[in-house]
Structure 1
Amino acid sequence: MLTIEKKTAVETYIAEKIEKRDTGEPICAYVYDLDYLENHAEKIKQSLPPFCRLYYAVKANPEKPILETLEPIVDGFEVASYGEMQKVSGLTEKAMLFGGPGKKDKEIASALESNVDYLNVESFHELNRMIYIAEQKGVKIPVLLRVNLKDNVSDSHIRMSGVPTQFGVDERDIPVILLEALASPHIEVKGFHFHAMSNNLDAQAHLQFIGTCIEKSLAWQNEFGMEAPIVNVGGGIGINYLNPDQPFEWEVLAKGLEDFYHIYQHQSLTLFLEIGRYMTAECGSYVTEVLDVKTNHGEHFAVIRGGSHHLRLPAAWKMSHPFHVHSIDEWRYPFERPGIFDEAVTVAGELCTPNDVLVRKENVKELRAGDVMIFRFAGAYGWTISHHDFLSHPHPEHIFVKKD
């Protein structure tokens, strides 16, 4: 891991690599702008009304410098495994929320011994296992019941509620599981969890979803005479990879949350948000050198050092990842430099599979072997979701840029 002085982050890194390069090793790195991340997270936090608590969804990017940058800003961390729990426990005593559809007994027990404040209950069997473990330890577990709503709530890229999924308890079964949880002396129901979507781009739809979550939580509280003030609406706020000039309207969401605060402030509700992708995506760039430019069957291809084993998201979602070309004038070979001008290009990686594609038939003004491609929004669901060791290529560098 290298840390460099910040000038223009990615451009500074590329310039230093070109200047110091004495071998033919191509450029390939993740570059994270920690100053941008800090400022962005501060703006998110400051925009929230008093009844909101901001948690960072560690799954989006668990790199230690990312967690250290966010730790002073967020109220806590949402974790989904023992490994994430350990990463957070090692740097803060702030609260954790522990979710995920497949918790192991060891993870539940470890959560009870760490600074995990709430565990999500995803099923009847998981509730019974929590009761069993709590009985053995002689403790009471604070839980949030995860609800799979009976109706679809968005047109987001991935839906985890309102459709059949492995997540949560069917809304129609909530009264039954509530009775079972409330009857146990080892379970304390603190509220409800409704994470329902991924990469939603519609702020108004998100507000409508949050309103639904609040109303259903209040209805269950009244019906069962509960003091369960937490409404965890999860995350799922998106990045517009296909049209970056039309981002999610955070200001609309923040204004709507303020309105909810004034409507429900007499109810003593606490609204939890688990923000991951929207928090970290834009602070990271995947930077990689073009190895070859070629034409096959009338279509143009650029082959890069790297690919989906470093940045899996565009291949998984079958999309063109946002990018721009950083031209490199230096050409170190004595023969012709391949390139294209004002043409559509497909950008493929170095793997031996036709699925290793990051960009699909997008127009470029100029792209040559030896140029560098900079892929935006790589700070979330980038490196850690990728199949790093397929073909055993070297890993990219990981660069964390901060003024201080």
Structure 2
Amino acid sequence: MTAHTPLLEKLAAEYGTPLYVYDLERVDAARRDLFGALPDGFEVFYAFKANPHVELVRALRTGEGPACKAEISSAGELAAALEAGYPGTDILYTGPGKTRDELAGAMAGGVRLFSAESLSDLTHIGAAARAHGVRAEALLRINSATAGAGTSIRMTGKPTQFGIDSETVAGIAAQLREVPGVSVAGLHLFSQSNARDEQSLIAELLHSIDVAAAMQEDLGVRLRILDIGGGFAAPYAQAGGRDRYPGLRVALEEKLDAAFPGWRQGEPRLAVESGRYLVGDSGTLLAGVSNVKVSRGRKFVILDAGINTFGGMSGLGRLLPVSVAVDTDGDGRAVEKASLVGPLCTPGDILGREVEVPEAAEGDVLTIPNAGAYGPTASLLMFLGRPAPTEAVVRGDEVVHVSRIEHIRTPV
């Protein structure tokens, strides 16, 4: 057994594996750290795509200190936000493919702030608002032609379904301003994910502020809200801690003082968004060893958790390639190199090739750290029909909630 704390051992014994354990105390700490790194008055939108578990997103809204708002992009995420107690006024609805039904549901749920990815998307938002008898506000997502720094995952500067190409804004500004049912309230810039270091993060966020100042002139609209994106980094299924940003606050304050002198009075309101930074280190994945075998001199540790449980979406490029690490200290066993593979009947079910693991035997439980983001709902959850992993939410040593997603085919 390598689940090194009594609580993890107890939960694995009681609920079996694969098992996710999320600690709300870690969520609280991440929220404090992120707000503490930002200038006073900044809003933080939590990206539900990282982990939409209702108990986690509720914890980001409640408790001591500033509350996170919700950034969602589907009807399912909207349902989770409303269940967790987010009012519609604290929700930003994003995404390039908002359907008529989704927009209608969002309006009915009280959402009034949307990220518009194109003129036609803005038109759809306006039409849905008018059909609901309300007026919506939109942040125009901008696909900047330039970048401030190299990052692990670039989101702009190329042809993409995301955002309005920055060089076209001036030419369509009048059309953007005149869409019935919706007001252009500001801009949404999101150019990177998981910045490689503080310097890269700061360079990109400062560049986003420069782009926003230029876009304000091109649009002929005074910005009331400016979302400069994110990129706050945290390890993914590897040992280590979240990045720290001691220089971020001052750098943002100096740039904003020059570009938007009224920002300290809320003109415009400033926001960032974050997913993995807020929940990544809250999660631990416990995976049971089903079998151990050697093939042509290489050892394979076969787990009950595979790409249906963790990281199955990494092949799409949204996540880093999966190469998990397991905790190797605490039980005194020797460490060896082995490939960690899952239970699925496909050669692609690999969590790590030739990674360090404690000498494992059938029935052992391995512990994968920093698994709180992009877990079950970012995996091939229904592939081959295996049960979803159990998810336990704790606060320190107290068990708050235990559940499992069920696959149910429903007649329509």
Residue 33, structure 1, aligned to residue 20, structure 2: no
Q: Map Cα deviations across residues 82-106 of structure 1 (whole Å, 9 max, x no partner).
A: 2211221232225100100100112
Aligned partner (choices 355, 362, 367) of residue 362 of structure 1: 355
Once residues 85 and 248 of structure 1 are traced to their aligned partners in structure 2, the CA distance between those partners, rounded to angstroms, is: 29
The percentage of counterpart residues that share the same residue type is: 28
The corresponding residue for 2:34 is: 44
Once residues 342 and 224 of structure 1 are traced to their aligned partners in structure 2, the CA distance between those partners, rounded to angstroms, is: 60
Task: Give the alignment of 1:58-69 within 5 angstroms.
Answer: 58-69=48-59
Deviation at 1:232, TM superposition (A): 0.9
Q: 1:216 to 1:313 in 2, by over 3 A?
A: same
Residue 321, structure 1, aligned to residue 324, structure 2: yes
Deviation at 1:154, TM superposition (A): 4.2
Once residues 309 and 242 of structure 1 are traced to their aligned partners in structure 2, the CA distance between those partners, rounded to angstroms, is: 15
The corresponding residue for 1:124 is: 119
Deviates more, 1:80-89 or 1:275-284: 80-89
Residue 195, structure 1, aligned to residue 194, structure 2: no
The corresponding residue for 2:209 is: 214
The corresponding residue for 2:402 is: none
The corresponding residue for 1:334 is: none
Q: Map Cα deviations across residues 285-313 of structure 1 (whole Å, 9 max, x no partner).
A: 11111122221122111001111100025
Secondary structure of the corresponding residue to residue 360 of structure 2 = strand
Q: Map Cα deviations across residues 29-64 of structure 1 (whole Å, 9 max, x no partner).
A: 000111121122123223321241111111111111
Once residues 228 and 86 of structure 2 are traced to their aligned partners in structure 1, the CA distance between those partners, rounded to angstroms, is: 24
Secondary structure of the corresponding residue to residue 323 of structure 1 = coil
Deviation at 1:319, TM superposition (A): 3.4
Once residues 131 and 231 of structure 2 are traced to their aligned partners in structure 1, the CA distance between those partners, rounded to angstroms, is: 36
Asked if structure 1 preserves the Cα contact closer than 8 Å seen for 2:288 and 2:364, the reply is yes
Deviation at 1:389, TM superposition (A): 2.3
Aligned partner (choices 74, 86, 91) of residue 92 of structure 1: 86
Secondary structure of the corresponding residue to residue 370 of structure 2 = coil
**TM-score, normalization: structure 1?**
0.85
The corresponding residue for 2:294 is: 295
Aligned partner (choices 175, 180, 185) of residue 170 of structure 2: 175
Once residues 238 and 28 of structure 2 are traced to their aligned partners in structure 1, the CA distance between those partners, rounded to angstroms, is: 24
Once residues 64 and 285 of structure 1 are traced to their aligned partners in structure 2, the CA distance between those partners, rounded to angstroms, is: 17
The corresponding residue for 1:6 is: none
Secondary structure of the corresponding residue to residue 327 of structure 2 = strand
Q: 1:178 to 1:74 in 2, by over 3 A?
A: farther
The corresponding residue for 1:56 is: 46
Deviates more, 1:362-371 or 1:163-172: 362-371
Q: 1:326 to 1:302 in 2, by over 3 A?
A: farther
The corresponding residue for 2:134 is: 139
Asked if structure 2 preserves the Cα contact closer than 8 Å seen for 1:182 and 1:189, the reply is yes
Q: Map Cα deviations across residues 70-91 of structure 1 (whole Å, 9 max, x no partner).
A: 1124241111112211221232
The corresponding residue for 2:341 is: 348
Residue 249, structure 1, aligned to residue 247, structure 2: no
Asked if structure 2 preserves the Cα contact closer than 8 Å seen for 1:200 and 1:238, the reply is yes
Aligned partner (choices 184, 200, 206) of residue 205 of structure 1: 200
**TM-score, normalization: structure 2?**
0.84
The corresponding residue for 1:283 is: 282
Asked if structure 1 preserves the Cα contact closer than 8 Å seen for 2:149 and 2:203, the reply is no
Q: Map Cα deviations across residues 250-277 of structure 1 (whole Å, 9 max, x no partner).
A: 3333443344455456233322111111
Q: Map Cα deviations across residues 120-144 of structure 1 (whole Å, 9 max, x no partner).
A: 1111221222333344444332100
Q: 1:85 to 1:246 in 2, by over 3 A?
A: closer
Once residues 313 and 95 of structure 2 are traced to their aligned partners in structure 1, the CA distance between those partners, rounded to angstroms, is: 24
Asked if structure 1 preserves the Cα contact closer than 8 Å seen for 2:18 and 2:390, the reply is yes
Deviation at 1:186, TM superposition (A): 2.5
Deviation at 1:382, TM superposition (A): 0.6
Once residues 356 and 109 of structure 1 are traced to their aligned partners in structure 2, the CA distance between those partners, rounded to angstroms, is: 39
The corresponding residue for 2:409 is: none
Aligned residue identity for 2:26? Y
Deviation at 1:146, TM superposition (A): 0.6
Once residues 257 and 143 of structure 1 are traced to their aligned partners in structure 2, the CA distance between those partners, rounded to angstroms, is: 24
Structure 1 residues not aligned, in runs of 5+: 1-8, 330-339
Larger radius of gyration: 1
Deviates more, 1:214-223 or 1:130-139: 130-139
Aligned length: 382
Q: 1:119 to 1:296 in 2, by over 3 A?
A: same
RMSD (CA atoms)? 2.7
Aligned residue identity for 1:34? L
Secondary structure of the corresponding residue to residue 226 of structure 1 = coil
Residue 397, structure 1, aligned to residue 390, structure 2: yes
Once residues 149 and 100 of structure 2 are traced to their aligned partners in structure 1, the CA distance between those partners, rounded to angstroms, is: 33
Asked if structure 2 preserves the Cα contact closer than 8 Å seen for 1:299 and 1:345, the reply is yes
Aligned residue identity for 2:295? N
Secondary structure of the corresponding residue to residue 295 of structure 1 = strand
The corresponding residue for 1:12 is: 6
Aligned partner (choices 154, 160, 167) of residue 155 of structure 2: 160
The corresponding residue for 1:380 is: 373
Deviation at 1:145, TM superposition (A): 0.5
Asked if structure 1 preserves the Cα contact closer than 8 Å seen for 2:326 and 2:356, the reply is no
Asked if structure 1 preserves the Cα contact closer than 8 Å seen for 2:37 and 2:245, the reply is no
Residue 311, structure 1, aligned to residue 304, structure 2: no
